[in-house]
Structure 1
């Protein structure tokens, strides 16, 4: 073995440090003059399955590791970028900007156990130390991510493999519970969202456009105090609440699970959009555990959220769990205001649905390979189908299977709930593969009332089923007609609900 390197570049997410890493880096450095340069990737991501620990906690653990091992360290955050073959060059430039160090193959060894990443550095001349993948090791050690999964799975042996620097920071900042909650979350994707196919720019625009209408509909029911908007999107409704003089003493709290939308909220706050000093945002999934203490919230707002909990969770079971969590954190006399889609009163009723065939292409059969296409290809293909052909495609892609019977070229027989699920979704071609994962008509309004009562709420008389007549008049009626099975015309059913649910002031023990 030659002279020890002047620098060891150690790129990685570094959510958890191991005893093996301490031993390996110590043998690799072999000198007080060697500096370990920790390039902490995905430093701008946290609270997701791939990145459950925020950067500042990772940095704290590395600094603690440096003190305990005597290894001189520099920690550099590397923000996430789109996949690129120039990843190594980007990382080196980031280090140069942050520290002034121009690492070269002559003075630096790259410590990396991921073959694909190691090749990127090897290609530009850097020698590689393979860490856990080192072929000369007698025993193959567990990688940090495997140790973290032990932690998430409740296996106490993670503590014997993790370095004391990690266990110390995890315990002091209660990260054990956080990691378990995020990694085991049944709804959140690897990157902190409900679905990987959603175009969040579209949703930010939609939330902004609809915010004033939503706020106008619920404002009179909002109780001052601690006001929480769960699934707050880009924070547009809270912007309007912030302008209300009567709420200037209230705390305004936004909770958003999708990383893209949460970051937009934080950006708005940093830019001074909110006048109220008591505006806070959290990236959390309410199903992952209680967010607020019992009896601590005066008003909870949810807009276009509950159908997602139904769709991505375990339908009614997950929705009831969600309702019970809201009931628990609501003060006696407090209110939960829910605005969302809902199913028609007679969801199971057989109906005849006649759909236009002349407004697009009518291929002989639907495709089964849309998931293999790009977003643009999916949008163009689905957008070019006739209303009738799009129903056939919807039946293939919809995550909640339903049956329909072909009556003639443009008519089908199916249940009313399935008909409305399609008709209220057929125009979402920009996010087709995301939208077809969600069910709008899982519960009727009366079924919603039963669920709220089961969760312990009292329903305010202001609660009501609603019909979006603009959607009916502009999107549905021009291309579809609805009749009973004998051909008699039917009125278009309700499409939405406004639920005002209160926790009783007095409750039985």
Structure 2
């Protein structure tokens, strides 16, 4: 004799089966209790959207539920439940969240749980709630997630299985194409990040510390109008652009793929960080297709982004698609400003790399199990290694080919290529994000490669462009523990580490 049906789930797609099942269940409970029965939709992961696991944002899910309620005649209440870390108290968290959001104190005496996931149902049973199994009660029809995957695969049978309420919302808001691009994204993970091991808090802090230096280096090249920062992180550079009097009439637009960073951008805007009312943020993967209309952007900024496109995408093919997309959305006379790491000239040149063995431990063999170890253990282990031992560990964990050969009689010296040497040296000091950093290649493109690519796409390269060396890194990170030489022993100077590209779309295009 329940007054409420608690129906937890992500609810990206509502199905015809759910409509029939819930209608019959609610009618039965209402008849038994001689009063109305309300379906309480606990929409989990409500703070997630645009991720592979949660491709539909909460407000669209809520709209479909409300439409579903009208069409079925079910009395409904919708409660958003934010994502939480895995816990065996999830049922308690959900019930308390429903109480906080709606004021409904659900108890086993007046509530039946409707849930087809055995693990979740077991949590509620431990609290005393009776359970109705929904899809698990019958010869199971396709479950909602299966219906969503049919949609993502281009199988139009999803429309026959989904309830008209979901079909209507998907059609009105163009969600079908959006879901396909998110679910099938080869780069972004299920939780909306490039890797599952990146510490986004420290990443955002480091980017914020460098934002002033980055902005000062490029501000003179920025053309007012529609200004887009792709890979904007937590919006630190746009905060500085927002303070520029010359840009007060411009639109400032941030594009970020990582859910954690995008959410911080939205939070900053809500807190009044930006004085310009025309500040907007989008969670998008630029490799998934065009983000902006052709010839609609005056200035595009990218900082420390293109090496990630190279690393997580299809190398040069992905970078070329990205550069073409930037060219296409740039107005004639507009500019793309790209600042990133860069491979040395002659990256394939063989060199000798001498590394310190006295600044840490030198185990006989590198570990092969770091990918399964907790982040704190990984960081502690790496901090205890010598620079020479870190190179052997890097060779195990690096996601790209890394050929190196120890030199006989000199255990501190290896022969490798200049590009491989710089890939290691520019990553060796990131123990906290080691498993993320070793998935990225800094030295995939040389400056000559960039010039050829930009010219081929149609950009004109401003004389301000060029490769350069970060001497702070050399003085503090490289020179104290490493040195480079030719194969015959002649000392080599440290090569370039970064590139600044100022590329303009010709006015007459």
* Smaller-chain TM-score bracket: over 0.9
Instruction: Determine if the alignment matches structure 1 residue 28 to structure 2 residue 30.
Output: no
Partner in structure 2 of residue 15 of structure 1: 12
Question: 1:90 is matched with which residue: 80, 88, 93?
Answer: 93
Following the alignment from structure 2 to structure 1, what is the Cα–Cα distance between the partners of residues 346 and 143? 54
Partner in structure 2 of residue 297 of structure 1: 297
Instruction: Give the Å deviation of 1:194.
Output: 0.6
Following the alignment from structure 1 to structure 2, what is the Cα–Cα distance between the partners of residues 150 and 453? 42
Instruction: Give the Å deviation of 1:140.
Output: 2.0
Following the alignment from structure 1 to structure 2, what is the Cα–Cα distance between the partners of residues 117 and 454? 55
Q: Secondary structure at the match of 1:410?
A: strand
Partner in structure 2 of residue 416 of structure 1: 418
Instruction: Determine if the alignment matches structure 1 residue 6 to structure 2 residue 3.
Output: yes
**Per-residue deviation, residues 90-135 of structure 1 (Å, max 9, x unmatched):** 111111122222111122111111111111001111111111112x
Q: Secondary structure at the match of 2:334?
A: strand
Partner in structure 1 of residue 33 of structure 2: none
**Per-residue deviation, residues 53-72 of structure 1 (Å, max 9, x unmatched):** 11111011001111111111
**Per-residue deviation, residues 386-421 of structure 1 (Å, max 9, x unmatched):** 000000000000000211111021000001000000
Instruction: Determine if the alignment matches structure 1 residue 479 to structure 2 residue 476.
Output: no
Q: How many pairs were matched up? A: 501
Following the alignment from structure 1 to structure 2, what is the Cα–Cα distance between the partners of residues 455 and 438? 25
Q: 1:319-468, aligned counterparts within 5 Å?
A: 319-407=319-407, 408-468=410-470
Q: Detail structure 1 runs of 4+ shifted over 2 Å in the superposition.
A: none
Q: Secondary structure at the match of 1:160?
A: helix
Partner in structure 1 of residue 81 of structure 2: 78
Q: Which runs of 5+ in 1 are unaligned?
A: none
Following the alignment from structure 1 to structure 2, what is the Cα–Cα distance between the partners of residues 455 and 186? 24
Instruction: Determine if the alignment matches structure 1 residue 120 to structure 2 residue 89.
Output: no
Instruction: Give the Å deviation of 1:249.
Output: 0.7
Normalised TM-score (structure 2)? 0.97
Q: Secondary structure at the match of 1:10?
A: strand
**Per-residue deviation, residues 37-80 of structure 1 (Å, max 9, x unmatched):** 10000111111011111111101100111111111111111111
Following the alignment from structure 2 to structure 1, what is the Cα–Cα distance between the partners of residues 245 and 149? 48
Q: Secondary structure at the match of 2:280?
A: strand
Following the alignment from structure 2 to structure 1, what is the Cα–Cα distance between the partners of residues 458 and 228? 19
Q: Secondary structure at the match of 1:333?
A: strand
Following the alignment from structure 1 to structure 2, what is the Cα–Cα distance between the partners of residues 96 and 234? 33
Following the alignment from structure 1 to structure 2, what is the Cα–Cα distance between the partners of residues 426 and 282? 33
Question: 2:58 is matched with which residue: 43, 55, 58?
Answer: 55
Partner in structure 2 of residue 495 of structure 1: 497
Partner in structure 1 of residue 42 of structure 2: 39
Following the alignment from structure 1 to structure 2, what is the Cα–Cα distance between the partners of residues 393 and 335? 41
Instruction: Give the Å deviation of 1:247.
Output: 0.7
Instruction: Give the Å deviation of 1:455.
Output: 2.0
Moved more, 270-279 or 57-66: 270-279
Q: Secondary structure at the match of 1:338?
A: strand
Instruction: Give the Å deviation of 1:461.
Output: 1.2
Partner in structure 1 of residue 249 of structure 2: 249
Partner in structure 1 of residue 508 of structure 2: 506
Following the alignment from structure 1 to structure 2, what is the Cα–Cα distance between the partners of residues 152 and 67? 27
TM-align CA RMSD: 0.9
Q: Which runs of 5+ in 2 are unaligned?
A: 31-35
Q: Secondary structure at the match of 2:411?
A: coil
**Per-residue deviation, residues 156-185 of structure 1 (Å, max 9, x unmatched):** 111000000000000001111111111111
Following the alignment from structure 1 to structure 2, what is the Cα–Cα distance between the partners of residues 278 and 127? 51
Following the alignment from structure 1 to structure 2, what is the Cα–Cα distance between the partners of residues 43 and 184? 21
Partner in structure 2 of residue 155 of structure 1: 155
Following the alignment from structure 2 to structure 1, what is the Cα–Cα distance between the partners of residues 94 and 415? 59
Instruction: Give the Å deviation of 1:304.
Output: 0.3
Instruction: Give the Å deviation of 1:274.
Output: 1.0
Instruction: Give the Å deviation of 1:454.
Output: 2.2
Q: Secondary structure at the match of 1:409?
A: strand
Following the alignment from structure 2 to structure 1, what is the Cα–Cα distance between the partners of residues 93 and 404? 53
Following the alignment from structure 1 to structure 2, what is the Cα–Cα distance between the partners of residues 455 and 395? 35
Following the alignment from structure 2 to structure 1, what is the Cα–Cα distance between the partners of residues 356 and 102? 64
